[in-house]
Structure 1
Amino acid sequence: MNSGYGKVYLVGSGPGDPELLTIKARKLIDNAEVIVYDQLPGEAILQSMPET
Structure 2
Amino acid sequence: MLRSQFVNIYFIIHGLQERSVFVQTWCFLMHAVFLSLSVMVGLFPVMYLL
How high is the TM-score relative to the length of structure 2? 0.26
Structure of greater relative contact order (alpha carbons < 8 Å, 6+ residues apart)? 1
- Whose helix fraction is larger, Structure 1's or Structure 2's? 2
Larger Cα-atom Rg: 2
How high is the TM-score relative to the length of structure 1? 0.25
